[in-house]
Structure 1
């Protein structure tokens, strides 16, 4: 289990205080979903919707890049 989970509603990493998903959590997610990149994209897309609700002040394009833009 990771210690790099999100602190809501700001979506900051509870461990390193960076925007979630932080670099460490991204690597963990890539490892966890190595056999199913589609499932990872769906999972992150679902979290993106929650983050957009929580951070309605944040630019939507920036949130999309943050949650999905790093996927291979």
Structure 2
């Protein structure tokens, strides 16, 4: 597995950066494509649903993991 890579996202008009491993970035993009959503919109949805104590990168990783577990 590679080291996390930082990429920029726009959530509700605000720029932020998230560090994820390439494998998680690819899976996250694949899920967004399967759901017919722009990556930023899917990230914004995850952002609004995460707890205050959970970082966005962690929330995305858990989202991806759960999606693949529930296949």
Higher relative strand content: 2
